[in-house]
Amino acid sequence: MTSVAVLGATGNLGRQVVRQVLDRGWALSVAVRSSTRLPPEAVERAKVIIADLHGVSIHELAQLVGGHDVLVCCAGMVTEGDKFVSLVDRIVSAVESVQPSKRPVSWFMAGAAVLVLDALGRRGVDLPKVRDTYWPHRANLERLQRSNLDWRLLCPGPMVDQPAVGIERLRISVDTLPAPLPVFARFLPRPLLLPMFAAKIPEMIIPYADAAMVMLNDISSGASTSRKRIGIALPVGMRGKKSQWAAKPRDAA
């Protein structure tokens, strides 16, 4: 039976991951500060570990995640800045300390701003204004790239609590923006590239349910998506509405 460890299980995305893991009949472990926000079925069926991820030691974290087939980390927010970067660093360090044969395939969260926008390799996080808020995503990506883990980094736009679109309808990309910019964008200076990137964000407003499904459908060790950034966009012609946007900046870029 597939076993999954979820960190950040009480957030909007984490709860959806938990629900889908249980629906698949997989074994589930969650680390939470309090079990009161977990769905009743998770309390009944999952291994619940009470822990503060910011305070638990790297050794204890390693014990939490080691031996699972999959780790899904939904913990932390980009607006926490250095605190978010430190948390991801500690989680990565914990998985690194696990015996290689017992390390899980590890999913982490970022945003569309770390995806490649054009043939020059520029990213949203390199653009004016965007980098001021979303630099932790770049730092976390760089930390993962320095590791030897089998990781994947989910990079959606805003995520919303809406019915799933369906993974078979989504545009899913590897390392690049799933809603491509025009070819001539490579000739634009960064300040002019910014509004073009911003105009693509509504195409990447993704339901939490779809984001969870993308991760849980890609858990094979050494897959072609290993150590890659995964982008998600709505079907061509579909755009989300601003009124549906989640308020958390992590979900916005």
Tens digit of pLDDT for each residue in 97-138? Answer: 999 999 999 999 999 999 999 999 999 999 989 999 999 999
Number of other CB atoms surrounding residue 40 within 10 Å: 7
Separation of alpha carbons 203 and 34, rounded Å: 35
CA distance 134 to 136: 5
Q: Structural domain tally of the chain?
A: 1
Amino acid at 244: Q
Chain centroid offset of residue 213 CA? 12
Q: Which domain holds residue 199?
A: 3-251
- The parts of the chain modelled with pLDDT lower than 70 are 242-253
Q: Residue 43's pLDDT is what?
A: 92
C-beta of residue 176 within 8 angstroms of C-beta of residue 132: no
- Cβ–Cβ under 8 Å, residues 83 and 92: no
**Closest to 246 (Cα-Cα) out of 197, 195, 208:** 208
Q: What pLDDT does 243 receive?
A: 55
Handedness of CA 155, 170, 165, 215 (dihedral sign): negative
pLDDT at 37: 87
What are the helix (H) ranges across the chain? 12-23, 40-45, 58-65, 82-96, 130-146, 190-200, 208-216
> Residue 184 CB: number of other CB atoms within 10 A?
9
**253 vs 245: CA distance, rounded Å:** 11
Query: 56 by DSSP, 3-state: which?
Result: coil
pTM: 0.93
Task: Indicate which CATH number applies to the domain containing 9.
Answer: 3.40.50.720
pLDDT attached to residue 242: 55
> Is-contact 197 135, C-beta < 8 A?
no
